[in-house]
Structure 1
Amino acid sequence: MENNKTKSITIVGGGSSGWMTAMYLNHLYRKEKQNIKVRLVESADIGILGVGEATVHSIRFFFAAMGLDEQELLSETQATYKTGIMFRNWMKPQQDKVHEYFHPFEQIKFGNGFDLSTSWLLSQKLSGQRYDEGTCISSELIKHQHGPKTANSKGYTGIVPYGYHIDANQLARFLRKKAVAAGVEHIEATVEKINTNNQNIISIETDNGVFESDYFIDCTGFKGLLINAVSEDNWVSYEDALPCNKAVAVQRKYPAEQQPKPYTEATALSNGWVWQIDLINRQGTGYVYDGNRLSKEEAEAELKSFLGSESEFIKTLHIDMQIGRRKRFWVGNCITVGLSGGFIEPLESTGLHLINLGARLLSTHLTQVSVPDAIQESYSELMINAYEDLKQFIVLHYCITDRDDTEFWQAAQRSVEHCPALKRKLAIWKYKICEYADLQTASTSCFNDENYRFILYGMQYYPELHLDIDKAQMETLFDSVKARCQQAVQYSETHQDSLDKLHN
């Protein structure tokens, strides 16, 4: 049995996926006193993609588990706090006002009869109030430019759950520094040849030596350098449901007097949407669009027109995205993590979550050199479930729009046809509230029923509910929500004050 123990793992490709995976596995093996070498090979010539630069809130738990100091992490990556996403223009204007709603990270439970969501719907709060405004603290905080921290918040804790806006290139460098200090072997080299035998990688030949390993982890991004060498016909496209396959990303200096916002902005345009992500030193922004409807030049022009002629641009990058996933995430001794395994447009900032998930699942599946087929299939199945769940959630943002001003948005309304399970759920949610049992959310999923409700009711997809309510009880409930929000504003810091502590 001794000979079946894993002795070495080689990760090819750096960036967030490579260094997060290397750090996680190295941390795990050292904690369990297993003598397994973790090596990362990356080329100095290949840049880091870093499209979105925003995260979901659960990434805090990864950084905390790795023993990273939050203040050091954020100060070295030009980071700001993120309490959610503000969606704008995803539906037709109403009374000459741009439609908008907020999707926070928090999940608040209020008792006293019906749950808060049902209570809000029954109390006819929808007549003029946004769902997020009536049900969550984060929405109130951002009205006052407050972030998630109080003056005494410890690392990775806040008054509400939060993620980050973070410089992807600097994050990779920071993780590399910490991983190498913890014992990960770093090889700077470009892969020139991959030697395989029966869907197994025997070795990789680089301009800086030949490397053998028990396992090879593909973190080479959209190229899928390793996985494509050991598998064919190993891709499922999602572009029928999610046609935004291109992006033009821009870095720009802040307009005068603008301070970083504690939330991401996602504004719908003619053939896709624009992200705006505020770092300390600049704003990262970009247009995710359907490349079959817009040329690169048209997309860049529309983005820059949206941002305004006074904008001072630092850098522009055009990106071809592969929207979909692998049929098999693990083939032979090759495992994909990150973009090499799949990608769903960055609408909900799930890139680092999927990396974290892939690395975490490796820790329970990568137990010996000769892993049975059932273990490989288990890893792939769990990753497939995560991508399928995420695909459904992202399609939800598009399919319930009432926009019909372009062919893109007309087609977006029909995108649910490519998600039969979501179509069935939407038919049900016309007559009942969306609840956990409807989704049976797997442990690999990033989003649950509370997240779905923020999108459904933010997009005004309300159920027809005919239930008797106790108006006095409802008023008591919403008075308590209002009091909780006011208390949160009172005790939290402005976003800028929190950032000043980090970066001064």
Structure 2
Amino acid sequence: MMKSICIVGGGSSGWMTAIYLNRYFNQYQAQVQVRVVESEDIGIIGVGEATVHSIRYFFAAMGLDETELLEATNATFKTGIMFRNWMKPVDGQMHQYFHPFDQLKPPMDLDISTSWLLDRRFELERFDQGVSLSSFLIANGHSPKTPQSAPYQGVVPYGYHLDAVKMARFLRKKAIEAGVLHSVATVSDVVVANGNIQSVQTDQGEFSADIFIDCTGFRGLLIDALKTDNWQSFTDALPCNKAVAIQRELPAEPKPYTTATALTNGWVWEIDLVDRQGTGYVYDGARLSREQAEQELRDYLGPEAAVLKCTHLDMKVGCRKEFWVGNCIAIGLAGGFIEPLESTGLHLINLGVRLLSTHLAGSELTQPVRDSYNRLMNGFYTDLKQFIVLHYCLTDRDDTAFWREAAAKAEYCPGLVPQLAAWRYKVCEYMDLAGTFSTTFTDENYRFILYGMGHYPQLQARSDNRQFDELFSKVGQQGKHAVLSTLPLPAWIRQMHGMKSSI
């Protein structure tokens, strides 16, 4: 029987894993010793500061108080991502579209997406503006919360913009209070015997366990000690392998959404916290030097940007062939990485540890159990790779070689090219993606990207203008009601954070 788990590495992955496994195995009775060994010398990358909406369920399941969490991490709300400049300008205006977390589902014979297409509303508005309440909220700068909203609840699904370093410290505090053992030590050697890790040697002594979890980031210190040639690269489909991140003072009131603006050889994120803005340029390192990328980012931000910190990052794009080898499981960056275009970093940690808990729950850890975990984790990363490629391959930009070659990236995702051809003449629907490993991004999410990028299907006219008028009139009424019932984001910040806010 498994009696001990040693997690090597802290940060988001280490402490999310620790707090979850400790609660899973020890909430009612102490069964498994959970220990985190982390070094103060190894800094937390702390770049991915936006989340998908499902991370709320993780925090809620851990019994964390939402207000305390948000105050501790200088957090604000995120209701989606605004994509800018991913296609050529339209009528002299920069192209943009919004990918929210919600889509309305009115009771009628046609779904709202088909109704929107048949009514040719793309001639009047963006897709998100016709089918999502979040679009009404962001247009007015509103949070997803009413004054009476319960913890982890809002009028629309929402994620967070948060300080990743502060989040790791908050989770560490809560995990230790719940019984997780914490050792500050630097690993000097990994002792392996018979295909398993026996112990890790550190400057503070030796630590043994039944199960070791590798949360050492891109280094993969533990998993690499067990298996070489265990990496599959995604750089053929996703060539952006570097980033330059800049923290700066808030230039204006914080936005309740993430912004992803395409530049010459990649894209820039903007994430507004209570006390600052996180920005970064994710780019193709084969086309830009570090200096060129940093200059392009600084030019984008403008000379008035009050820069607090600048960091350059090398990213290892892809994932493990086997996430679980012997008695070692890689989670977080040690297991894989896909560029943060859809804010999936914490989501993949959440998936990895939740799935691991059920696979560790058996009375015996057999190879079929490991194979099951590896198959599912590979499926999650492969499906996510396709969804991210979708954002690139629909572009009509031809101003640089990077963008001219983007359309061909669909060829590196088996099945995507014929799907795109089919979606020229039919709506993207649930059955198109059924049987895949999709976890967060379903047919609804695909439609926001497809139609946001102008990939509209040509449908045979089957119109009822009166029904369409009634439907979209109700959407407008619902949107106005959502705005009236929610708080503007600055008002929510003042209410939640008080004098801590710079607003």
TM-score category, normalised to shorter length: over 0.9
What is the DSSP-based 3-state SS (H/G/I as helix, E as strand, rest coil) of the residue aligned with 1:292? coil
Question: Could you tell me which amino acid in structure 1 is paired with residue 461 of structure 2?
Answer: L
1:149 pairs, out of 145, 150, 153, with: 145
**Contact 1:401/1:459 (8 A) holds in 2:** yes
1:252 pairs, out of 223, 237, 248, with: 248
1:476 equivalent in alignment to 2:462: no
The Cα of 1:113 is off from its aligned counterpart by 2.4
Cα separation, 1, equivalents of 2:356 and 2:436: 17
2:276 pairs, out of 270, 275, 282, with: 282
1:343 pairs, out of 324, 337, 348, with: 337
1:365 equivalent in alignment to 2:365: no
Paired position in structure 2 for 1:298? 292
Q: 1:369-448 maps to which residues of 2 (within 5 A)? A: 370-440=364-434, 442=436, 445-448=439-442
What is the DSSP-based 3-state SS (H/G/I as helix, E as strand, rest coil) of the residue aligned with 1:95? coil
2:115 pairs, out of 106, 114, 119, with: 119
1:15 equivalent in alignment to 2:15: no
Cα separation, 2, equivalents of 1:437 and 1:32: 41
**Contact 1:227/1:331 (8 A) holds in 2:** yes
Taking a change above 3 Å as real, the CA distance of residues 101 and 441 of structure 1, as seen in their structure-2 partners, is farther
Paired position in structure 2 for 1:171? 167
1:189 equivalent in alignment to 2:185: yes
What is the DSSP-based 3-state SS (H/G/I as helix, E as strand, rest coil) of the residue aligned with 1:297? helix
Question: Could you tell me which amino acid in structure 2 is paired with residue 372 of structure 1?
Answer: T
Cα separation, 2, equivalents of 1:32 and 1:395: 44
2:35 pairs, out of 23, 34, 39, with: 39
What is the DSSP-based 3-state SS (H/G/I as helix, E as strand, rest coil) of the residue aligned with 2:406? helix
2:489 pairs, out of 488, 495, 498, with: 495
Cα separation, 2, equivalents of 1:414 and 1:210: 50
Cα separation, 1, equivalents of 2:263 and 2:411: 23
Of 345-354 and 437-446, more deviation after overlay is shown by 437-446
Query: What whole-Å deviation, never above 9, does each CA across 1:75-127 have from its counterpart, x for those lacking one?
Result: 01010100000000000001110000000001321122210000000001011
**Contact 1:180/1:186 (8 A) holds in 2:** yes
Cα separation, 2, equivalents of 1:344 and 1:213: 30
What is the DSSP-based 3-state SS (H/G/I as helix, E as strand, rest coil) of the residue aligned with 2:405? helix
The Cα of 1:352 is off from its aligned counterpart by 0.5
1:199 equivalent in alignment to 2:195: yes
Percent identity over paired residues: 59
Taking a change above 3 Å as real, the CA distance of residues 143 and 205 of structure 1, as seen in their structure-2 partners, is same
What is the DSSP-based 3-state SS (H/G/I as helix, E as strand, rest coil) of the residue aligned with 1:414? helix
Taking a change above 3 Å as real, the CA distance of residues 441 and 165 of structure 1, as seen in their structure-2 partners, is farther
1:93 pairs, out of 89, 103, 119, with: 89
Cα separation, 2, equivalents of 1:474 and 1:34: 58
Question: Could you tell me which amino acid in structure 1 is paired with residue 152 of structure 2?
Answer: Y
Cα separation, 1, equivalents of 2:327 and 2:386: 30
1:234 equivalent in alignment to 2:237: no
Question: Could you tell me which amino acid in structure 1 is paired with residue 401 of structure 2?
Answer: E
**Contact 1:245/1:288 (8 A) holds in 2:** yes
Following TM superposition, the consecutive aligned residue runs of length 4 or more in structure 1 with deviations greater than 2 angstroms are 31-34, 367-370, 441-444
Query: What whole-Å deviation, never above 9, does each CA across 1:473-496 have from its counterpart, x for those lacking one?
Result: 111111111111111011111011
Paired position in structure 1 for 2:347? 353
**Contact 2:70/2:76 (8 A) holds in 1:** yes
**Contact 1:441/1:448 (8 A) holds in 2:** no
Paired position in structure 1 for 2:125? 129
2:103 pairs, out of 87, 104, 107, with: 107
Cα separation, 1, equivalents of 2:393 and 2:81: 18
Question: Could you tell me which amino acid in structure 2 is paired with residue 120 of structure 1?
Answer: W
Cα separation, 2, equivalents of 1:347 and 1:103: 11
Cα separation, 2, equivalents of 1:219 and 1:444: 24
CA RMSD of aligned residues (A): 1.0
Paired position in structure 1 for 2:501? none
Question: Could you tell me which amino acid in structure 2 is paired with residue 308 of structure 1?
Answer: G
Cα separation, 2, equivalents of 1:316 and 1:387: 29
**Contact 2:144/2:486 (8 A) holds in 1:** yes
1:49 equivalent in alignment to 2:55: no
The Cα of 1:370 is off from its aligned counterpart by 4.7
The Cα of 1:498 is off from its aligned counterpart by 1.3
1:74 equivalent in alignment to 2:77: no
The Cα of 1:128 is off from its aligned counterpart by 2.7
Of 488-497 and 32-41, more deviation after overlay is shown by 32-41
Of 283-292 and 105-114, more deviation after overlay is shown by 105-114
The Cα of 1:177 is off from its aligned counterpart by 0.2
- Matched residue count: 498
**Contact 2:8/2:215 (8 A) holds in 1:** yes
Query: What residue ranges of structure 2 are gaps of 5+ in the alignment?
Result: 499-503
Query: What whole-Å deviation, never above 9, does each CA across 1:8-58 have from its counterpart, x for those lacking one?
Result: 000000000000000000011123525100000000111101222000000
The TM-score with structure 2 as length reference comes to 0.98
What is the DSSP-based 3-state SS (H/G/I as helix, E as strand, rest coil) of the residue aligned with 2:143? strand
**Contact 1:239/1:245 (8 A) holds in 2:** yes
Cα separation, 2, equivalents of 1:496 and 1:197: 57
Of 316-325 and 410-419, more deviation after overlay is shown by 410-419
Cα separation, 2, equivalents of 1:248 and 1:441: 37
**Contact 2:53/2:101 (8 A) holds in 1:** yes
